[in-house]
Structures are given as C-alpha cells and as structure tokens.
C-alpha cells in the first residue's frame, strides 16, 4: 500500500482538487493522510465535506489529522509519516496536482530498477494548475554528490520504499527547505535516487510565489550546504557556483530549446519528405546525365539524313536549372496530393501519393526533354528511372514513418463523447487502431456538463478528441481548449464536411465563404467520363478470365450467376447494379459493365440500394448529399474498409452515417489527383475491403 501524506495549512481553495487528484489514481491500493497544521481558514471543514461526498470505499481510505498548534510543514509531514501504514511513502503538497497514472507509473519504475527512492519530472502550472509549458526533467540516476549541485527533486514527485529506506531518514528537519535536506540525508546514506523522465505532476506556482525569489533561494541553499551537508565556506561557495551554473543552463535550455522542441522535432521530421524528393531527383539526374543529355547535345540529324545543326549544349547552371525544374514540379505535386503530410496520412497512402506524383513529374520531364531534342526520345531510361523511384518511395516512406513514430510518441488522449452516444468502447477501439498516434487515457461523456469537461481538459492530456459533440457545447469546449493551448481533434458532422468544399472570396474587408450547390465542374465530369470508358474497357479485357471463372462458381453455387439490385445514382435516378450472386473473389467485376454504360463511375460513393436509401433519407435527409455525384465501383469509404454491402437494409443510422461522412469528404474535396490515388491504391480490392470491414 502507498501512504500519501498531505500537509494542510490554509488550503481551503485547493483541498477539494487535492483529494480528487488522489481519488482518480489508476493505482488504487493507497491511503490518504491529511494533516491539518492548525489552519486559519476553512480547510478542515472543506476537507470533511469533500470526504463525505465520496463513495464509502474511497472515503474509508482517507484520514484527517488535526494538529493542536501550528508547527510547520516538516512537522505535519512527520505526523503523517508516524500514522502511515503503507510500505511506500508519497508526499503531495495541497496545491499541487497529480496525473491519474502518477502512482502506478512510479511504482512500476521503482520495481523495474529495484530502487528504494524515485522521483519524476514535473510541469509548472499557473494559479489554476494549468500547465504553462515549462517542464523540469530529472536525470535517470542521481547520487548524493550530484544532488548537491542540482536541487531538482520536487516533493510531490517522490515515492519511497520504507523496506529499503529507513523511516527515520524520511523524517524532515524543521529548517528551511526541509524537503531538500531530507533528500540529501537519504542520498548521503548511500541510496541513489532514480528519475522517471515523465511529467506526472503539475507544480502550481503563481507569479508571486515565494519560491520564485532567487535571493531567498540562494540563502536557503547556502544554509543547507553549511548545516545539512556540513560543508566549509569554500566548499559551500563552490557548490553554490555549480548550483547557479546548473540552474542557469537549465533555464536557458528550457526557454531557448525545450520550449520550441516540438517545433524543432516536427521541422526535422518533415524534412524527411524533402530528403525523399532529393533522392528521387538524384535518380533522375543519373538518367539525365547518363542518357538524355548526350542525346540532346548530339547533332540533330533526321531519319532521311538532313542535318538540323548541332545539339543543345549546357553548362553547370543549365544542368542545375533542369534538375531544379524537375525538383520543383515534383515538390508542387507532392504538396498538393498530400505526399508530404507525414503524421496525418497513413504511410501506405503517402507512398501511393508519392508514386503518382513521380509519374506525373516524369511524364512532364519526358515532354520537356523531347522538346529540347525537337523529336520524341526513347522513354526506356525514364521508365527504368521511375521503377527505381517507386522502390525508393516505398522504402523511404516506410523508414520516414518509422522515424516519425520514434520521434513523436503517441499523444495521451482524452476522448469526450456526446451524451447521446452510448458506446464509448467502440470509440476507444477505433482510436486504439491508431495507437501509434493516440494513447487513450480516459473517456468522458458530456452528460456531466461543460464545466466538468473543461476541468478535465485542463489537467494533463496531450490532446482532446471531441466525438459526437456538436452545437453550443462543442463551441464552448473548443474555445476553452484553444485559449489554454490544448490541441483538439474533432470528429466532424456531415454539416462540417460540407464546409470543406467552400471557396474564399475577398471582395471587401469581410471574407466570404462560397459553398456551391454542386461540387464537380462540367470539365471535370467530362474528363472523368472519358477516363471511366477507357479504364473500364481495359479492365474488362484484363479481368475477363477471372470473371469467367467467378461466373461459373456463382452459377454452380446458386443456380444463377448474376444478382441484380436497384440502386440510387446521381440526382435521384435509379439504375440496375450487377454483381455475382456468390460472394467470391471478383464478385464485383460485373460492375465494370455498369461503369462502361455510364450508370456509375470508377471512383465515387458506393452504390446504395434504393430500399436502404429511402429509409435512411426518412431518418436523416442529409443522405441526399451522396447523390451529388455518380456512385463508384470503388471509392474513399472502401479505402477504410467501410462498405454498404456489409449493412442490412434496416441497418443502424450511425453505421450508415459513418460511411456518409467519408463520402462527403470525397465529394467536397473532389480532384482528379484524388481519383488517381484511389484508383491506383484501391482498384481491384473492393471485394477484399468489404471482407475486411466485417472482421473489424
């Protein structure tokens, strides 16, 4: 058991939060000993009221000791130490805040190192215990000699094993900085302290805090050197100098580097994408110098022997310009198709985007080289270059993703969900699928009210996720988190997704956001239809052997091979969709004929049966938005394993709504580049995608 000792003196404003921070610990085998040092305010009554409001099992683990006279924090802690029944001792000042996993993580760390004395890193907070961004980190291990010049052991972070550290050593002397004196006394006995470099405590430190007075701090540390460490004048002066140097360097490091560490890490990691572009450009440079420059620099002689003159001669700057043009085209396409969004897109998706960007860049470069030669050149070298770039893209994006995961630990996440959402486990499961980005620490319903949610948000989380929270409640929480520098992730509603397709107009001093009644221009529709005809024809020819075998299997299993169903198409029209009657590999291939006929497109929202559509529209008329574009053979929702074919006609509205949101992302962010990415990444996998979603 862990005995937690809290001295109270005029702590009425904090005692409720203090008790709450202990009661919310994930490690539950503890006792809380509150020692009131003859407070002049209402601390005792506030403590009693708070204890009475707790459930019986929790309240039974809390004891309140009222001292008859004020004797100081050291004596109050010693009184609590005498009353402690646990093997482990932890101290907590009444105005500090523990993170919920403080005791659990420190005890695990202590057992791992077989240590008797551990502490952790901590954060500075303002008068409301809101983290200010300043962090004090601790070394992995510290001896007595090192501790003399580094007073960074904070009382509320300490955990001590009384089977390895004698209780008499833990008793605090009644002098200034009694806690530091105690730590030195323990360390001087030959016991080292182990530091857990994890921020587990918020040190509430108002701007007028006494501990921020550097002159008084120097005086206190001088007395410790002379009275506790028993150093001479010269030794004390030497250690004061070391202490000042360490404190100054730590402050410079905190203010100059660590404050910007997140930005530095993000900048460094994001440069991995640029390094990748440079590697691809280097491969192109090899093809340029080895094959294409010798071609364009040779004399221009036609096939009938006519001499058009000498070839194009380039010097260093000319070659550099050629490579810069290639790099800039590749960079532009990579930025616009998401190839450089490390940490925001899946590694597989980034790789596909990069391969597509490389394809367009190489085609453009081929046209450029042919113009310089004044005749079509052989594409063989450029195709070989592209194949090498594809291999490098797959390897580099995998490596960059791995490095990103190492540098950026998963964010400790608080999930807040709407009061009408009754399946918190499902939310957690979805985020645990992305455990390289999010580490779910707690879920909380909005049913407790906005104030309770805001109080929880301000405690310690790396980010807050709003799931199914809309309207005024979401606005209040977003405003609160933004004002307190808390990162927020919002799972959007369909109405939010509609805003992703707006165009900004700057007509006067007030910006206007134009949300069009249609999303795809007629030029895009024309290009899309032409591509559908070409691609479907090619695929019908290529996949005909597979379709023939699947056709025979379906006929033998069900007596009929083709299953027809009436589905909804663009603008509310209906069409007859064709699938194989037996759910086997290639069962969706007959839909390629629907693409050729123009009923559906290659890429778009998955076709929805008319019966399902009519029912869902009656419940939520926003399902009409899916009909702004043609349905598709494959699409955005299928890339995430979400298929309507796995839902029954009477499916739950929430299941269908999740697919609607993905469809709206596709519709509102429509582009040819997005279609190409989905085409290359998903084509031919719609059967498998549907099956994957059943197992999730």
604-634, pLDDT tens digit by residue?
899 999 989 998 988 888 888 888 888 999 8
pLDDT at residue 6 greater than cutoff 90: yes
pLDDT at residue 309 greater than cutoff 90: no
Contact in structure between 235 and 222 (CB atoms under 8 Å) = no
**Tens of pLDDT, residues 50-65:** 999 988 999 999 999 9
Output phi, psi for 578, to 5 deg.
-120, 125
Least confident span in 226-240, 304-318, 338-352: 226-240
- The dihedral sign for the CA sequence 198, 202, 207, 209: negative
- pLDDT band at residue 639, thresholds of 50, 70 and 90? confident
- Higher per-residue confidence, 491 vs 506: 491
Contact in structure between 330 and 281 (CB atoms under 8 Å) = yes
**pTM for this predicted structure:** 0.56
- Higher per-residue confidence, 132 vs 378: 378
pLDDT at residue 220 greater than cutoff 70: no
Q: Determine the average pLDDT of the residues in 60-85.
A: 91
Give the DSSP per-residue string, 215-251. HHHHHHHHHIIIIIS---HHHHHHHHHHHHHHHHHHH
Q: What is residue 84's predicted lDDT score, i.e. its pLDDT?
A: 93
Q: What is residue 686's predicted lDDT score, i.e. its pLDDT?
A: 39
- pLDDT band at residue 209, thresholds of 50, 70 and 90? very low
pLDDT at residue 238 greater than cutoff 90: no
CB atoms within 10 A of CB 466: 23
**Tens of pLDDT, residues 160-175:** 999 999 989 999 887 7
CA atoms of 33 and 35, how far apart (whole Å) = 6
- pLDDT band at residue 146, thresholds of 50, 70 and 90? confident
CA atoms of 62 and 84, how far apart (whole Å) = 11
Q: What is residue 248's predicted lDDT score, i.e. its pLDDT?
A: 61
Q: Is 111 exposed, middle or buried (0-12, 13-18, 19+ CB in 10 A)?
A: exposed
- pLDDT band at residue 118, thresholds of 50, 70 and 90? very high
The pairing of strands 307-309 and 411-417 is unpaired
Domains identified in the chain and CATH numbers: 2-210 (3.90.550.10), 262-407 (no CATH), 419-491 (no CATH), 522-695 (no CATH)
Q: Determine the average pLDDT of the residues in 448-464.
A: 81
Q: What is residue 684's predicted lDDT score, i.e. its pLDDT?
A: 38
Q: What is residue 688's predicted lDDT score, i.e. its pLDDT?
A: 37
Least confident span in 329-338, 364-373, 393-402, 679-688: 679-688
- pLDDT band at residue 76, thresholds of 50, 70 and 90? very high
- pLDDT band at residue 694, thresholds of 50, 70 and 90? very low
- Higher per-residue confidence, 480 vs 269: 480
Contact in structure between 631 and 568 (CB atoms under 8 Å) = yes
**Tens of pLDDT, residues 80-89:** 999 999 999 9
pLDDT-above-90 percentage for the chain: 27
CA atoms of 275 and 114, how far apart (whole Å) = 44
- Find, among 262, 279, 272, 261, the residue nearest to 401 by Cα: 272
pLDDT at residue 517 greater than cutoff 90: no
CA atoms of 312 and 309, how far apart (whole Å) = 9
Residues 6+ apart with CB under 8 A from 659: 606, 637, 642, 643, 644
CB atoms within 10 A of CB 357: 28
Q: Is 619 exposed, middle or buried (0-12, 13-18, 19+ CB in 10 A)?
A: exposed
CB atoms within 10 A of CB 402: 12
Q: Which residues of 5-28 are buried (b: 16+ CB within 10 A; e: fewer)?
A: bbbbbebbebbebbbebbbbbeee
pLDDT at residue 682 greater than cutoff 60: no
555: its two tokens = 């006929």
pLDDT at residue 269 greater than cutoff 70: no
pLDDT at residue 668 greater than cutoff 70: yes
Least confident span in 128-137, 335-344, 508-517: 508-517
Residue carrying the six token digits 């052989």: 378
Least confident span in 50-54, 246-250, 537-541, 646-650: 246-250
pLDDT at residue 356 greater than cutoff 90: no
Contact in structure between 6 and 34 (CB atoms under 8 Å) = yes
- pLDDT band at residue 696, thresholds of 50, 70 and 90? very low
What mean pLDDT, rounded, does the chain reach? 82
Q: Determine the average pLDDT of the residues in 217-234.
A: 67
Residues 6+ apart with CB under 8 A from 424: 415, 417, 443, 445
pLDDT-above-70 percentage for the chain: 85
């Amino acid at each position: 058991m862990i005995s937690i000792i809290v001295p109270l003196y005029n702590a009425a404003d904090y005692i409720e939060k203090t008790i709450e921070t202990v009661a919310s610990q994930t490690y539950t085998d503890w006792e809380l000993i509150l020692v009131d040092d003859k407070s002049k305010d209402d601390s005792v009554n506030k403590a009693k009221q708070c204890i009475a409001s707790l459930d019986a099992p929790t309240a039974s683990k809390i004891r309140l000791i009222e001292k008859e006279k004020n004797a100081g924090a050291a004596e109050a802690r010693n009184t609590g130490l005498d009353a402690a029944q646990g093997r482990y001792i932890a101290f907590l000042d009444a105005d500090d805040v523990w993170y919920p996993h403080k005791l659990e993580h420190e005890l695990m760390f202590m057992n791992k190192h077989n240590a008797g004395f551990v502490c952790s890193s901590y954060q500075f907070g303002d008068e409301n215990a809101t983290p200010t961004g300043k962090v004090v980190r601790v070394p992995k291990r510290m001896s007595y000699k090192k501790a003399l010049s580094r007073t960074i052991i904070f009382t509320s972070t300490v955990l001590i094993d009384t089977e390895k550290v004698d209780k008499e050593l833990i008793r605090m002397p009644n002098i200034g900085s009694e806690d530091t004196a105690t730590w030195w006394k323990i360390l001087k006995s030959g016991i080292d302290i182990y530091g857990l470099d994890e921020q587990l405590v918020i040190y509430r430190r108002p701007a007028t805090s006494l501990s921020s007075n550097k002159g008084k701090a120097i005086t206190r540390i001088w007395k410790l050197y002379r009275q506790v460490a028993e150093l001479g004048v010269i030794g004390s002066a030497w250690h004061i100098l070391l202490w000042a140097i360490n404190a100054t360097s730590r402050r410079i490091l905190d203010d100059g580097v660590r404050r910007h560490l997140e930005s530095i890490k993000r900048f460094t990691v994001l440069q991995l994408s640029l390094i990748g572009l440079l590697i691809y450009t280097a491969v192109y440079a090899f093809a340029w110098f080895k094959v294409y420059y010798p071609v364009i620099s040779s004399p221009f002689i036609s096939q009938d022997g006519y001499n058009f003159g000498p070839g194009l001669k380039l010097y260093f700057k000319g070659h550099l310009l050629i490579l810069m043009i290639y790099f800039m085209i590749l960079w532009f396409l990579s930025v616009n198709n998401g190839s450089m969004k490390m940490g925001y897109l899946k590694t597989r998706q980034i790789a596909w985007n990069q391969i597509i960007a490389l394809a367009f860049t190489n085609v453009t470069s081929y046209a450029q080289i042919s113009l310089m030669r004044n005749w079509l050149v052989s594409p063989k070298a450029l195709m070989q270059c592209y194949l090498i770039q594809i291999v490098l893209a797959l390897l580099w994006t995998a490596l960059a993703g791995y490095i990103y995961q190492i540098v950026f630990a998963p964010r400790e996440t608080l999930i807040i969900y709407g009061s009408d959402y009754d399946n918190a486990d499902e939310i957690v499961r979805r985020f645990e699928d992305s455990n390289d980005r999010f580490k779910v620490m707690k879920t909380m319903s909005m049913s407790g009210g906005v104030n309770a949610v805001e109080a929880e948000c301000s405690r310690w989380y790396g980010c807050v996720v709003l799931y199914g929270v809309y309207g005024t409640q979401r606005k209040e929480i977003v405003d609160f988190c933004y004002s307190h520098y808390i990162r927020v992730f919002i799972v959007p509603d369909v109405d939010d997704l509609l805003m992703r397709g707006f165009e900004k107009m700057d007509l006067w001093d007030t910006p206007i956001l134009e949300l069009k009644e249609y999303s795809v221009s007629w030029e895009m529709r024309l290009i899309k239809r032409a591509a559908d005809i070409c691609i479907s024809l090619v695929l019908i020819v290529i996949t005909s052997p597979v379709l023939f075998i699947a056709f025979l299997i379906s006929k033998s299993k069900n007596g009929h091979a083709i299953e027809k169903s009436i589905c909804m198409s663009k603008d509310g029209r209906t069409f007859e969709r064709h699938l194989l009657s037996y759910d086997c590999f290639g069962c969706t291939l007959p839909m390629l004929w629907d693409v050729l006929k123009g009923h559906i497109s290659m890429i778009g929202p998955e076709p929805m049966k008319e019966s399902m559509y009519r029912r869902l529209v009656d419940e939520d008329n926003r399902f009409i938005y899916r009909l702004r574009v043609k349905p598709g053979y494959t699409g955005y929702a299928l890339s995430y394993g979400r298929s309507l074919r796995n839902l029954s006609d009477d499916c739950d509205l929430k299941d269908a709504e999740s697919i609607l949101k993905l469809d709206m992302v596709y519709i509102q962010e429509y582009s040819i580049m997005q279609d190409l990415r989905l085409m290359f990444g998903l084509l031919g996998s719609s059967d498998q995608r549907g099956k994957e979603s059943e197992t999730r």
